[in-house]
Amino acid sequence: MAGSIGAATEPRENQCALDALYVKLFGTDSAPSASSAPRTASTLHLSDEAIIRRAEAATNGAKFAALYSGDTGDYDGDESRADQALCSMLSFWTQDPAQIERIFSCSALGQREKWQRRADYRQRTISKALERTEVYAARSTTNPNGQTPNGQYDHQTNDADDTDASDDAPQPRSGDEQGEGEDRAPRRSQATILVELAEETTAEFFHTPQGEMYATIPVGTHRETLLLRGKAFRLWLMSRYWERFTATPNTQALQDAIGRLSGKALFEGLERQVWVRLAVHDDRLYLDLGDAEWQVVEIQRGRWKTITAAAAPVRFRRPRTLLPLPIPDPEGSLDDLDALLSITDANDLLRVKGWVIGVFQMEGGRAILEFNGEQGSAKTTTARLFRRIMDPSTADLRAAPRDERDLMIAAANGLIVGVDNLSDMKDWLSDALCRLSTGGGIGGRELYSDLEEITLDAQRPCLLTAINPANSKGDRLSRTISVTLPVIKPQDRRTEAELWSAFAKAHPRLLGGVLNAVATALERRHEVSLPRKPRLADIVEWVEAASPALGWESGVFAATFEAGQCISDALAVESLPIGPAVMALMENNSDWKGTATELLDKLSPLVGDRVTRDPDWPKRANRLSNQLNRLAPNLRTLGIEVTFDRGGSRGTRTITLSKNQDVWDRQHRQSPSDDDDLPPNQAFEEVPTDGQSSEDRQAEPDSSSVEPHQHGASDDADDADDQLQAHSATVLVESDGAKWEEGEIE
């Protein structure tokens, strides 16, 4: 009798029911005698290995595993009872005596002399197990092979039931030696099994300070950190289930299991920070190479080495857009960058290389690198190249963000934020980039929520491209290294395929050169102190500390960086018509004091009617005060101090303009080639990197017929590189598992 309506299952033995039916139809006199027909086996035929896997995953899987390994502690050392219990468990999954004997013989209990030599004992124990133990039968639409039409076992695909084969664990009848009078254990859900499969690995569940739940899981020979609510973790959990049951769990079970594991991570796990590409820990830096082996570069004072992510004390996550970096070359140099660029100005080259090193600084603000230039100057390609040196991504540069949420997503999924073709930068975006540069929070409302807000409090270096400077607000310009790229002549232009092929060859050396410089900066960063600290002083000091590894003289980068900031300040002052008017007023005055109304009356005649009709010209005193307050930092750099004060019995607000004559003279020098002997970081003019005067450099003959666009630097710059004063920085490099090897950077 099958007893299963609509199921293709083999009839089971039920002689008593047949006898009762016979008596009802034919009377008791002709009732047949009971037969002792052999017990019918289940239609589901499993391999030895599959039976062991399923028995281990069952409700009493721990007991099965203990018996299989030879542990008889639950039976007070009674080996015969233990033998009977293990055979009973096996008989649930298979009714083939030969298969039961074969599996048992492979166990630790089966290695005993009694089992090996006494065939009568083996036969008696197996027969007793087959007589008393319930059997496993696949439910509903199974075929004779125990599979559904899609090739999966029925217990794995019944979504409404949310149960599986592990629920149907072998349970003894009353009187078995395995547990006399013991009630059958409750059936387990797929979600429970998924949680157990995750917990039986060496996975580490934890949460971040922001409340995100993560797991660091074993994958092959390495470990990966995955967001619990992300697709990658779901796939890993499904793969664990597939390996055990050769089937997939249903969607609701996956969701429930991940919910339980998230609770474990939040309430039982440690709080840890999760990083993207670059991490800071205990005066060391860690760079995620993003490769399939999950390798990480550990950078410490004067040395760096490649290690596995599992050996690092930090945890990295990998957004889908993240691309791998090459294995860095310890003999590399950042000077290989020159041949890939169209930048011909030596000072611009110095500044952009400094920006690259500044990406790795330990603390302080990050600089914004902006490439300007007309069409055909390779702005986008140049910006992509700089990002790919240390943070390649499938989204190297993005379109201008629509709101702070878009900007936050870009910042959360990369080390560098790249924005392409900013024809017009709104004030909110300029302010948000400033906060991103210095570490202020940006955020937005969480999806599907009117109240919850998600924020990102992080520092990110930014890359921008624009035909003209994207925004002239002084606070953003003060954080920006702006480079105007020359137009590339048609005969000097290279195809993208040629450029990226050359970059791929140079990339290991470029990255190795960067790491050498960063290791040197870590070693020397507490030794560098500038006599006068400019804005973004942390970047300047960090790059100055790295100067020996880059072959730069002390103070050269600081002077070049400050000169660039002065240009930015001048642009900021010129962005509002009130700025040049104040400069004109102070041209022949050492100070001025009065109210905002008086100052407006004083400035208007200096600029004429055309300027006063400009929409940006302040028509009221309060607007003049607002514009002066905005330009005050930039005017200060150019030698004009602006102070606001309230005095008198009425508390009238007064404005004081005072000239710092030393700064004014330095920043308004008529010729950048004056021979004044100023300290390296106090000169306004663009400082040659080789220590030569401008006249000496102009007198040098052109010694090469190669166009500078082909090599990315002028011939003068090449000569300057050859004549740099020798600086050597010893950087120790170690491969994973190898000793430190010494390399010298000159």
Written as one string, the DSSP assignment of 439-500 is: T-EEEEEPTT-SS-EEEEE----EEEEESS-S---HHHHTTEEEEEPPPPPGGG---HHHHH
Convert 222-257 to b/e letters by CB count within 10 Å (16 or more is b). ebbbbbbebebbbebbeebbeebbebbbbeebbebb
According to the model, what pLDDT value does residue 504 have? 97
Task: Say yes or no to pLDDT of 546 above 80.
Answer: yes
Task: Say yes or no to pLDDT of 744 above 60.
Answer: no
Assess whether 360 and 499 both reside in one domain.
Answer: yes
> Which pLDDT band holds residue 267 (cuts at 50, 70, 90)?
very high
CB count within 10 Å of CB 320 equals: 11
Question: Across residues 664-672, what is the average pLDDT?
Answer: 61
Question: CA 578 → CA 430, 604, 608, 619, 634, distances in Å?
Answer: 21, 9, 12, 11, 13
Give the containing element (helix H, strand E) for 412: helix 404-412
Is 81 among the domain residues? yes
- CATH number for the domain spanning 392: value is 3.40.50.300
Assess whether 543 and 576 both reside in one domain.
Answer: no
Sign of the torsion formed by the C-alpha atoms of 533, 537, 538 and 543: negative
400: CB partners within 8 A, 6+ apart: 419, 421, 422, 425, 429
Contact of 722 with 347, CB cutoff 8 Å: no
Tokens 């013991």 belong to which residue? 182
Please tell me the total count of domains within the chain. 4
Six-digit token pair at 278? 């670059």
Task: Say yes or no to pLDDT of 700 above 60.
Answer: no
Among 249, 272, 295, the domain-final residue is: 272
Among 136, 167, 198, the domain-final residue is: 167
Assess whether 213 and 150 both reside in one domain.
Answer: no
Between strands 213-219 and 204-207, the pairing is antiparallel
Assess whether 474 and 358 both reside in one domain.
Answer: yes
| pLDDT tens string 398-419 | 988 888 888 888 888 999 999 9
Among 667, 684, 707, the domain-final residue is: 667
Task: Say yes or no to pLDDT of 11 above 90.
Answer: no
- The tally of CA atoms less than 13 A away on the side-chain side of residue 119 is 1
> Which pLDDT band holds residue 428 (cuts at 50, 70, 90)?
confident
According to the model, what pLDDT value does residue 270 have? 95
Which of these ranges, 69-73, 151-155, 514-518, 607-611, has the smallest mean pLDDT? Answer: 151-155
According to the model, what pLDDT value does residue 455 have? 55
| pLDDT tens string 450-471 | 334 455 667 899 999 987 765 5
> Which pLDDT band holds residue 24 (cuts at 50, 70, 90)?
low
Assess whether 524 and 642 both reside in one domain.
Answer: no
Q: pLDDT averaged over the chain?
A: 77
Higher pLDDT, 603 or 745: 603
Assess whether 429 and 470 both reside in one domain.
Answer: yes
According to the model, what pLDDT value does residue 74 have? 84
Is 703 among the domain residues? yes
According to the model, what pLDDT value does residue 646 have? 78
Give the containing element (helix H, strand E) for 685: none
Assess whether 390 and 467 both reside in one domain.
Answer: yes
Give the angle 117-122-123 at the CA atoms, nearest 5°.
130
**Structural domain containing residue 219:** 190-272
Convert 9-22 to b/e letters by CB count within 10 Å (16 or more is b). beeeeeeeeeeeee
Assess whether 209 and 340 both reside in one domain.
Answer: no
Q: Dihedrals φ, ψ of 301, to 5°?
A: -60, 115
> Which pLDDT band holds residue 571 (cuts at 50, 70, 90)?
confident
Task: Say yes or no to pLDDT of 232 above 80.
Answer: yes
Higher pLDDT, 441 or 353: 353
| pLDDT tens string 479-535 | 889 899 988 888 888 899 999 999 999 999 999 999 999 999 999 999 998 887 877
Task: Say yes or no to pLDDT of 677 above 60.
Answer: no
According to the model, what pLDDT value does residue 508 have? 98
Six-digit token pair at 9? 């299952």
According to the model, what pLDDT value does residue 154 have? 38
| pLDDT tens string 30-84 | 444 433 334 444 445 788 888 998 888 888 888 898 899 888 888 888 899 999 9
- CATH number for the domain spanning 655: value is 3.90.1150
Contact of 520 with 408, CB cutoff 8 Å: no
Assess whether 720 and 603 both reside in one domain.
Answer: no
> Which pLDDT band holds residue 360 (cuts at 50, 70, 90)?
very high
Quickly list DSSP for 664-700: HHHHT-S-TT------GGG--SPPPTTS--HHHHHHS
CA distance 602 to 635: 18
Among 306, 546, 325, 298, which Cα is nearest to 415's?
A: 325
Six-digit token pair at 91? 């008989």
Assess whether 583 and 616 both reside in one domain.
Answer: yes
Is 289 among the domain residues? no
Is 14 among the domain residues? no
According to the model, what pLDDT value does residue 718 have? 39
Assess whether 527 and 576 both reside in one domain.
Answer: no
Task: Say yes or no to pLDDT of 373 above 50.
Answer: yes
Six-digit token pair at 553? 């003289």
Largest CA distance in the chain: 137
Is 149 among the domain residues? yes
Query: Does the predicted TM-score (pTM) go above 0.75?
Result: no
Contact of 316 with 296, CB cutoff 8 Å: yes
Is 64 among the domain residues? yes
> Which pLDDT band holds residue 557 (cuts at 50, 70, 90)?
very high
Between strands 315-316 and 274-275, the pairing is parallel
Share of the chain above pLDDT 90, in %: 39
Any idea what DSSP says for residue 331? T
According to the model, what pLDDT value does residue 610 have? 87
According to the model, what pLDDT value does residue 19 have? 55
Is 296 among the domain residues? no
Among 209, 206, 192, which Cα is nearest to 264's?
A: 206
- Per residue, the 3-state secondary structure of 355-381, as one string, reads HHHHCCCCCCCCCEEEEECCCCCCHHH
Q: Crossing angle, helix 61-68 and helix 79-93, to 10 degrees? A: 120
Round the CA-based radius of gyration of the chain to a whole number and report it: 38
Is 478 among the domain residues? yes
According to the model, what pLDDT value does residue 608 have? 84
The dihedral formed by the CA atoms of 18, 23, 28 and 33, expressed in degrees to the nearest 10: -10
Assess whether 501 and 578 both reside in one domain.
Answer: no
